[in-house]
Amino acid sequence: MSRPTYDVSVVTTVRDVADARLHRIVGALADVGLTVEVLGFGTAEGAPPQASAVRIAPRRGAAGRIASSLASPWRARGRVVLVLDPDAVPSAWVRRLAGHPLVVDLSEDYAALLNDRAWARGLVGALSRWGARASTALAGRADLTVVADTHVPPMAARNRVVLRNLPYGDYLPPPTAPDPEPRALYIGDLRISRGLFDMIEAVAAAPGWTLDLVGPVSSTEESALTSRLACDDVRGRVRLHGRRPPREAWELARGAWVGFSLLHDTPAFRDAMPSKVFEYLTAGLAVVASPLPRQAELLTASAAGTVVDGPDAATAALRAYVAEPALLEMQRAAAREWAPVEDEEYSRFAGAVMALARTRGR
The per-residue pLDDT for range 99-124, each reduced to its tens digit, is 889 999 998 876 666 666 665 566 65
Q: Is pLDDT at 130 greater than 70 in this prediction?
A: no
Which run of H or E residues covers position 53?
Answer: strand 53-56
Asked if residues 78 and 55 have their Cβ atoms less than 8 Å apart, the reply is: no
- The pLDDT score that the predictor gives to residue 285 is 98
CA distance 56 to 42: 7
The region of weakest confidence among 65-69, 107-111, 136-140, 201-205 is: 107-111
The CB density around residue 71, as the number of other CB atoms within 10 Å, is: 14
pLDDT at 302 over 90: yes
| Whether the predicted pLDDT of 125 surpasses 90 | no
Cβ atoms of 249 and 176 closer than 8 Å: no
The stretch 328-347 carries a mean pLDDT of: 91
**Can you tell me the distance from the alpha carbon of 101 to that of 61, in angstroms, rounded to the nearest whole number?**
29
Give the integer Cα–Cα distance in Å for 152 and 302.
25
Q: What pLDDT is stored for residue 137 in this prediction?
A: 87
Transcribe 204-217 into DSSP letters: HTSTT-EEEEESPB
The class that CATH gives domain 6-166+342-359 is alpha beta
Instruction: Say which residue, 49 or 99, is predicted with more confidence.
Output: 49
- Cα 27 to Cα 34: distance, rounded to the nearest angstrom: 10
pLDDT band (50, 70, 90) for residue 362: very low
pLDDT of residue 194: 96
Strand, helix or coil for residue 156: coil
> Residues of CATH 3.40.50.2000 domain(s) within the chain?
6-166+342-359, 183-338
Confidence of residue 267 (pLDDT cuts 50, 70, 90): confident
Task: Calculate mean pLDDT across residues 20-42.
Answer: 97
Say if residues 101 and 358 touch (Cβ distance below 8 Å).
Answer: no
Cis? peptide before 90, omega within 30° of 0: no
In the 8-state DSSP scheme, what is residue 172? S
Query: For residues 81 and 353, what is the distance between their CA atoms, to the nearest angstrom?
Result: 10
Q: What is the rounded average pLDDT for all residues in the chain?
A: 92
Q: Residue range 87-94: average pLDDT?
A: 94
Identity of residue 186: Y
Residue 132 CB contacts under 8 Å (≥ 6 apart), including other chains = 86, 110, 111, 113, 114
Residue 1, pLDDT > 60, answer no
Is the pLDDT reported for residue 293 higher than 80?
yes
Interaxial angle between packed helices 275-282 and 293-302, expressed in degrees from 0 to 180 and rounded to the nearest 10: 20
Confidence tier at 142 by pLDDT (50, 70, 90)? very high
Question: What count of Cα atoms within 13 Å lies in the side-chain half-sphere of residue 295?
Answer: 32
Query: What backbone phi and psi angles, to 5 degrees, belong to 82?
Result: -115, 115
* pLDDT tens digits, one per residue of 2-25: 567 899 999 999 899 999 999 999
State yes or no: pLDDT of 238 exceeds 60: yes
Average pLDDT estimate for 337-341:
82
Could you confirm whether domain 183-338 is CATH 3.20.20.140?
Answer: no
Output the pLDDT for position 336.
Answer: 95
Predicted confidence at residue 361, as pLDDT, reads 47
